[in-house]
Amino acid sequence: MTDSSTGAGAAYGDRDPDALARRAGERANPDRDQHFLVDDRVLDRIPAYLPDDADASHLLEIGGGAGALTDRLLAAVAAENGRLSVIERDGVFADFLREEFATAVDDGLLDVIEGDALDVDLPPFTACVANLPYGVSSEIAFRLLPEGKPLVLMFQAEFADRMVASAGESEYGRLSVSAQHYAAVEIVERVPKEAFDPQPAVESAVVRCTPRDPEYEVGDEAFFLRFVKALFTQRRKTVRNAVRNTGHISGLDDPESVVDAADEDLLRRRPGDLEPSAFAALAELARERGSPTEV
C-alpha cells in the first residue's frame, strides 16, 4: 500500500482526502459551491457504480477540486490503459491537480481543463463520474445526458429524488420526465452531509444514469421537452387547462385544437399523473394540431 500522504509520485487510488486538501493549500469554499467529498469509503465505491459494460477508456470528471475522486478515477483508467479528463473552474485547484498528478499528466493518463463546465468544449469521453457543484448540477446534467454516455453523478438528495420519481409521486415533475427520456436513472447510494468538508446544508445522493432509448418516439425532441416544461408549470391544473394556459411556453399557436383532439380521460388528469409515454403521445398530437412555433 502506497503512503497516502505522498504527492505526485504516489500510486493512484489511495490518497488521503484530507492530506490532498492540505497540499492544495486552499480549503473548499462553500460560497463558490465547493464541498469536497472526504469519506474514503464513499470515494472508493463511486467508480464501481458505472454499469458493468461501461466503456471506461476515457472518463470525464467535472469539478476535480483537490483531487480525491480524481485519484480514484485515475486508478480505474490506469487499470484499463485509459484516460481521464478533469474540468476544474478554480485556477488554484486546476494548477494543484496538474502538480499533484504530474506523472499522470506526463504519461498521457490525465488532462486537466481549466474552465466552467457550462462553457468549455467537452472533450470526447466514454463515461462521466463526478461530484457536481450543486448550484449548477441541473445545467451540467442536461448538458451531459444528451451525450448518451453512462453517468455517475453526485447531487443534492432532493434533486436526485426528483430525477428518479415516477408518475403520481409528489417528487415527479419536469426533471423526472426529462432525465428519464435519456436514461434509466437510479439512486445507488445516499451520502450524509458528514462525508463532505465543509458540510453542505443538505444530504446528497449518487445517481447512475444508464443511457437507453425511451419506449416511445418523439418527432421533435426540443418541442417535447419544452411541452413537458410548459405543462408542469401548471401541475395542479388539469391537462386540459395546462395545455390551454401554456401556449406561450410550449410555443403552441392553437392550443384549443390540441384540446379538441385529445382523449377526454387524458384531459381530466393532471400533469403529475402522466407517464412519460403519455407526455410523448400528447406532445406529438400537439405538434400535429397546435401549429407550434420556435420559442
Question: How high is the mean pLDDT in each 10-residue block of the chain (295 residues)?
Answer: 44 93 81 83 97 95 96 95 96 96 96 96 97 92 97 97 97 97 98 93 96 94 96 96 96 95 96 97 94 69
Quote the pLDDT of residue 31. Answer: 67
Quote the pLDDT of residue 25. Answer: 84
CA angle centred on 227, ends 181 and 284, rounded to 5°: 80
37 annotated binding-site participant? yes
Q: Which CATH class is domain 221-289?
A: mainly alpha
Domain 17-211 annotated CATH 3.40.1260.10: no
171 annotated binding-site participant? no
116 annotated binding-site participant? yes
CA 261 – CA 256 distance, rounded (Å) = 9
248 annotated binding-site participant? no
Quote the pLDDT of residue 11. Answer: 86
CA 71 – CA 173 distance, rounded (Å) = 36
Quote the pLDDT of residue 294. Answer: 67
Segments making up each domain of the chain, as ranges: 17-211, 221-289
Q: Which tens digits make up the pLDDT trace of 104-160? A: 999 999 999 999 999 999 999 999 999 998 889 999 999 999 999 999 999 999 999
pTM strictly above 0.85: yes
Which long-range contacts does 106-111 make (Cβ < 8 Å, 24+ apart)? 108/83, 109/74, 109/77, 109/78, 109/82, 109/83, 109/84, 110/70, 110/74, 110/83, 110/84, 110/85, 110/86, 111/83, 111/84, 111/85, 111/86
Quote the pLDDT of residue 2. Answer: 38
245 annotated binding-site participant? no
